[in-house]
Structure 1
Amino acid sequence: MIRLLEYRVYRTTEEPVPFCWKVLFVLFMLGTLLAMVAVCGSCQPEEEDIGNTGVGEGLSATLRLEVMGEEQVDIATRAVSEGVVSNLHILVYNSSGELIGQKYQTGSSTVTVNTRSATGCTIYAIANTGKADLFKGYAIHKESYLKSMVYSLTGWDDPGKGTNLLMTGSMKSVNIRAGVQTLSTRLVLTRMVAKVVLNIKVKESSGITITDYSVKNIPACSYYVARASGDAAQAATAAHWKESGVIATSRATSVNKTFYMFENRRGTKSISAQKDKTTANAPAKATYVVIHGLVGAVTVMWTVYLGENNTSDFNIKRNGNYTYNITLNDIAATDTRVVVDFTGTEDLSSAGTANCYLAKANSWYKFKATVRGNGAATAAGISPTGSVLAMNAPITPNIAELVWETGGHEKIIRVLMLKDGYVYFRTGEVEEGNAVIAVKNTAGIILWSWHIWVTNTNLLESAQTYRTNPRWMDPTLFRNGLVSRTLTMMDRNLGAAVDEASDANTASQAFGLYYQFGRKDPFPSGKIGGGVECIEIYDKVGNLLPMATLKGNTYQKTAAQVPHASVAENIAYTIMNPLIFIVYAVGDADTSVNWLYGASPLNSPPTIWRSSNRLWGGDLNDDMSEYPLGLDSKFIGKTIYDPCPYGWCLPPQDTWTNFTTTENPLGAGTAKDNYVSYSTTNPLYYNSPSSEKRNYDSSTVIFGRHFYVSEIGKGEIAFYPAAGYRYGKGGGIESVGDFCCAWSFAPYSASSTFGGYLYSAKIAVSPNGTSWRMHGFPVRCVKETS
């Protein structure tokens, strides 16, 4: 994102040498000041040959001439009268550079000067100095002395404080004969100063406010007589330079400032990109503007160098009119004209790192970019490197980049950068939404990625208390000794905007995101009324990624297509490709229906399956097939792949055991594995409000189902939306408006390739369901300490 500080420089005329008053009777038309004038060269009048026949040199002569300042069509709109001559010095030098006539007057523009006849004379006019004795003394009798004289400022903006501007002009090669003569050509004066107009505004919806600005390297003096090359009066010493000082703006969103300054011709540089017109590339003492502002709580400084274009030129010439239309955009590390002070930026990782961070709209945040997930020590069997990872084993990213976001381009992540081992980002104006951002190495390979959940929800304040209800814990079949206990659960799915749904719109907002079992990165969910379409997500440049695109070859692969020579290679691929959904290909030799290729307990040894069991921090008490039933799982600790925020993790397998009430829903004599699933199709056993103790017709669209979470038939109620899921075979969206589900951290059992999850549909509730680990299901997190 480098288009983050833009300024446009325009010309005010189509003339090759703009804004210059020639010694012809020319009225210069300034126009509408939509542009900056580029070059103001010195203008030479035609020779004024008054004749000299029969008259010798040095005879008495009286010279009458009319002096005028160049006019502007919009002078009435200016605080300074830019073309008015109020007081005037006339100096006449002969071809030897000796003063032969001099006059100071105020008021009238017609001047009568007593002089002597001579050929090849130069007549100088200096206006609006307000100093009658400016050119007194013997030294002024030499033209060379006049050319060495400078006007010095007291304050940086002195040229614009008076009523009129300093102006100078000259006529060369004038022949003056004896007697009274009137010059037929008027001497037109040009300004000693350049006019600079700053039109500064902020990008719409950027959240930027301007706190102050200042102008640097303003020449403190300038020659009265213009020189063809650089102005030698601008020496390196501090006395020759002024600054505007800090001009406060009270957190404005626009600033318009006009000021006048002496010329500062610093030359050109070989610069082709606007963003590279920086201090590092600028000539010494080039004039520039510093703008300070705030983006939320972050202090930002923009630096804009002046000149005749946006890139290579650093010249401000006398008599020039420069207009700069500057737009302050969002911040990017790649734009070196922008200096950001992130002091005070909220560190989302200060308490601990995670794969998901919560943020609010229009705010600045940072988090550690060198830690994988929660930084947990990682065994070789589930490590992306194939070796043991120590706690907080570092990665070394080079750049941060958006993977996808909801809501539209730059609606969730407005600015993103990597700085000093941290990802810095600014959220957009959308108050509820999701994004995935990644860091890459110098080769452009993703090292890790994080889910940014923009929400106004306080997870702890809205959390709910679940009371589990495990039963049929036959000690001959189970090793976990499960008993009823209390869990602190989120009141909504991970990534959801709302916790309840009453119509199609709010239902989709309650869905959250989909996750494949054991993977850390989310996928967009479906939506009510969207058929097989997912919620709108956009890539880093703002391209919409519809379901047809996400199911294409770029974003969907079969497990066989994914590198899988080892578990580490397989896991590393998912890290490098967080938006690629991995599906099962019918007919493939691997029937594990797991994105981790070959993860089946039937393989001998079942090494890959055991790795898959532990990716989200769960495992079986005993993975031998003689203990085949569900609910015989355990928590071994949150891993680097857990998708929940800091302090939260995937829930255990028995989380939803209170969602049905019968101990033996399938009747006496049925197999024990049916008991432990607690599944039922009988609405009488749904632990739901009475209005939802029913089954629905297959054509009915439901928004979700409510369950009592801590007691039977009363107390606190949780809502689980009918979010459907992403199918692990074809990769499409399925069962939206029918199917409520959520992953646990646990493998289902010692004899199953599947994972344990909550399942509720129109005609059934299964608190301990089992399904393909390839499927993309929602996630609802539990407080880790509970």
Structure 2
Amino acid sequence: MKKLLIWLPGMLSMLAACTEAVEIPARAPEKQSPVRVELHLTTEQQAATRAMDENCIRDVNLYLYGDTEYHFYFPSVSSPLVFNVLPGNYRSYAIANAGQDLGDKNAFKIQFYETAVDVMESSDAIPMTDRGTLAVDGAGRCTPSSLRVTRSAAKIAYTIEVADAVAPSLRLRSVQFCNLPLTIRPFDSGSISSTVEANYYDGEAMPVGNERRTAGTAYLFENLQGSVDTITDQKDKCPENAPACATYLRILAERSADKALVEYIVYPGENNTSDFNVRRNTWHNLELVIRGENEIDNRVLVYDGLYYGTANCHICTGDQVTFDVTPYRTSRSRNYAYLGIEAGDEYAPASAGLLWQDNKIVTGFTLADNRLTVRTNGQRGNALVAVYDAGGTILWSWHIWCLPNDRPQDDRYTNRAGEQFLVMDRNLGAIGTDLKTRYGLVYTWGRKDPFTSNEVYNAAGRKDRFINHWPTIYTSNGSEAKTYDLTYMTRHPTTYVYTGWYAKLYTYYDNALWGDPAPVDTYGWASAKSVYGPCPEGYRLPSRYTWTAFENYVFPGEPYVVGAFDNGYWFQRFRGDTKGTFYPVPVGNDDFRLDRDGVAVMLTGAASEPTSATPYPTVYFKFEINSGWTNFEGGKGKGLVRCVRE
């Protein structure tokens, strides 16, 4: 029993002589009763292939660990799951498609739970799991309201074809996946898999029937065998160089002349050369062409990148704008292109909100069926809005550019080589013509979300200078940079990362981030528009030769302009242009570094290496007139953007 000692001020003299205190029993805590909870279970939605239903959830074991531990088994699943627990905070573990009641497991044992491949093969249902937290209040409401289970297997889709030139001499006989894990620990994600060969088996060889072409889909448990960095050519991704337990595809073909068998070995992974990781819940697409007995053309695509919608900027010319926020997949091997491959409902946003606005323009949101409507008061301004998952994590964000009855127009440029470009008539984010509003927003290389040096209103309605109010991370070396990768930047769109060598940060010289993975001295682009580009739909970042029309190669260092410098230049869009197109210069703004000729800072989609070991950290791809040539110089930091038609 708890004892409460009460000392009365008026009895000090008596208390000085007494040794026994007054005892009053404390009130017993109110006893809580279990509450009824409804919890939804979701998974990625994809079309089923073969006999395997990728989305099937047949049974669920649910474990909750808090002040009280619970285990619930649902032999059949309907939505929602219904159970009774005491209010409180729990660590949750969900195991779907185990095929049986797994019984009680304490919080330690659950970490080492193993799923056997027999479970997947016998039930034609993929084991799935989820680990997270669950908060239950006294009314039975739980946060989050749903659990998203993740598949413990990777999907491997393959197409194998014998090239026309060798078709008369070779025919496919069988396809077989080898070195497959017997078990997987679903709550031990990301660590290197076992290197003991006894823990692996070879799958059944699937006959082809002496055909020229075959295709299929397999579901394989995760097998992470790391990478071999010395492999730089896909022809060297072979058994002699591969980790002993790496998963591979074995193809047998028959030679027509003597019926001899020819074997081909293909290793899936996250690239065509050095990587030997088959990760759970990823989709690999193997497109293989056999061109001879010793030659196979191996094309491996891993769609593990995630993006939302069809553009990262949306122009609002009225009082609202509606756009797609569907989750899609992309891949570095496709240079982060917009591929339109839906990722599934498991990644769908749960809510939307405002991050900042430079004018009080946003009045509300409607999110339904993967469409987001942003309502405004019809005034000019910029805003950054985001969608969130059920736990409040930012999934993706968009720039809303409000220009009532003033949609940007295109100027036609003809560059030095005669190539023509349709270029937007203003900088991205420019909302006016005065010194404060005509420059537009500021972008850091490789990131889709804008910054601004002007005052803005944050989500709470407080007005402040953006760069003073929002967090800034200072870093200077590559090891720190790895912390701030694409995932971090996507989830923290208002965090500015400053570094002494910006190119070493999360970009790692990855020129594909802005759509030019292999910049060379040619006109046009090296790839499609990137999902990390900041331009509206129909536009992209320019190629590096968009502005060569501005260069005066008769008098090097003097641009072709119309009139004199006046807080910027009216550049000639083509030779002999008498009207020009205006590029403002942000004079007096500490957040910009100006060219010696006062030419506007400008960004392009083409990347270049820094010109020195210590480039200017706040400027990158600076558009300048220099030595008779329009070029770009060092460093990656922040600057203005002008978009060009795709």
Shorter-chain TM-score tier: 0.3 to 0.5
Tell me the TM-score normalized by structure 1.
Answer: 0.32
When Rg is computed on C-alpha atoms for both structures, the one with the higher figure is: 1
